[in-house]
């Protein structure tokens, strides 16, 4: 079984809709991250959480919110989706001093 | 996180040729990590460099960290089709990673 899972894997939605992307991990890591990937722009950090009670904005948090329901679960919400939020979204975890990031398989989101 | 610039954005090579991607920062980096993302996949950690002038090898891959800790490089010797993908350098201090934009390697058989 995969250590970091993301649901859904693909989603097509319309402008203005509320969308939630979910991430679960079985690695027992405290640190969790949400990124978006756009062609040619690398991965940009949206939000990160160092434990259940700690939530921090990343580089591009506008238009997004998150919830850390448990150590193993970190959800990303788009309250009112817009077309420029069309992207590939990755969740990642980290639990070592090295801060090696372990990524989920990604969610491809299309906002029409 | 500390911003890192990565070049080139794309690199086409013939199978068997060498490949190098470069990562540069205007500030001193505490460490640098490298990741590989295969087409359609997710980034996978390759290595971390911490010390000034550090050089590490993984088979045909050689990773270097500059003496001033402001630049890093990844060199692949004799590329193979399995090397295809995007290579990212990542700066990270205080557990907040910043990704470079990546170099996409295309290997022609």
A62-73 residue pLDDT tens? 999 999 999 999
Please give the Cα distance from B81 to B108 (Å, whole number).
7
- Considering only alpha carbons, which residue of chain A is nearest residue B103? A40
Contact A42 B102 (CB under 8 A): yes
- Which pLDDT value is given to residue B3? 86
What pLDDT score does A23 carry?
A: 98
Contact state of A101 with B101 under an 8 Å Cβ cutoff? no
Could you list the pLDDT tens digit for every one of the 109 residues in chain B?
Answer: 678 999 999 999 999 999 999 999 999 999 999 999 999 999 999 999 999 999 999 999 999 999 999 999 999 999 999 999 999 999 987 788 999 999 999 999 9
Cis peptide before B57 (omega within 30 of 0): no
| Contacts with B50 (C-beta within 8 Å, 6 or more apart), sequence order | B30, B31, B65
Interfacial A residues in 18-57 facing B (CB < 8 Å): 31, 33, 35, 40-45, 48, 50
**B43: nearest CA in chain A?**
A103
Shortest alpha-carbon distance between residue A24 and chain B (Å):
16
Which two three-digit tokens encode residue B51?
A: 């010390």
Binned average pLDDT, 10 residues per bin, chain A of 112 residues: 90 97 96 94 94 95 96 97 97 89 97 96
Q: Is A104 on the interface with B (CB under 8 A)?
A: yes
- B88/A95 Cα distance (integer angstroms): 20
Sign of CA dihedral B76, A40, B65, B70: positive
- Taking CA–CA distances from A30, the nearest residue in chain B reads B95
User: Residue A90 is nearest to which of B42, B95, B98, comparing CB atoms?
Assistant: B42
Dist. CA A9–CA B7, nearest whole Å: 30
- Identify the CA nearest to B84 among candidates B102, B106, B68, B55: B106
State the DSSP string of chain B: ----EEE-SEEEEETT--EEEEEE-SS--S-EEEEEE-TTS-EEEEEEE-STT-EEEETTEEEEE-TTSSEEEEEESS--GGG-EEEEEEEEETTEEEE---EEEEEE-
Question: Taking the CB of residue B9, how many other CB atoms lie within 10 A of it?
Answer: 12
Query: Strands B103-108 and B10-14: what pairing?
Result: parallel
Distances (CA, A) of A101 to A47, A90, B17, B42: 14, 11, 30, 11
Residue A40's pLDDT is 82
Of A31, A43, A98, the CB nearest to B43: A43
The C-alpha of B14 sits at a distance from chain A's nearest C-alpha, in angstroms, of 22
A106 CB within 8 Å of a chain B CB: yes
């Amino acid at each position: 079984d995969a250590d970091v899972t993301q649901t859904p894997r693909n989603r097509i939605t319309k402008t203005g809709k509320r969308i939630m992307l979910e991430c679960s991990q079985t690695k027992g890591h405290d640190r969790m991250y949400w990124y978006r990937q756009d062609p040619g722009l690398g991965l940009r950090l949206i939000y990160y959480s160092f434990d259940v009670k700690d939530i921090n904005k990343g580089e591009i948090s506008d238009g997004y919110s998150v919830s850390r329901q448990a150590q193993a679960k970190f959800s990303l919400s788009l309250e009112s989706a817009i077309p420029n939020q069309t992207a590939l979204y990755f969740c990642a975890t980290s639990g070592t001093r090295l801060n090696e990031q372990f990524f989920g398989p990604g969610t491809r989101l299309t906002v029409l | 996180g500390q911003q890192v610039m990565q070049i080139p954005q794309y690199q086409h090579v013939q199978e068997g040729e060498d490949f190098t991607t470069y990562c540069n920062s205007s500030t001193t980096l505490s460490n640098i990590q490298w990741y590989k993302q295969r087409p359609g996949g997710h980034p996978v950690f390759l290595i971390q460099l911490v010390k000034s002038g550090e050089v590490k090898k993984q088979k045909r891959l050689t990773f270097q960290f500059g003496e001033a800790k402001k630049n890093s490089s990844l060199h692949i010797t004799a590329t193979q089709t399995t090397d295809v993908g995007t290579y990212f350098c990542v700066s990270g201090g205080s557990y907040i990673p910043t990704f470079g934009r990546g170099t996409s390697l295309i290997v022609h058989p």
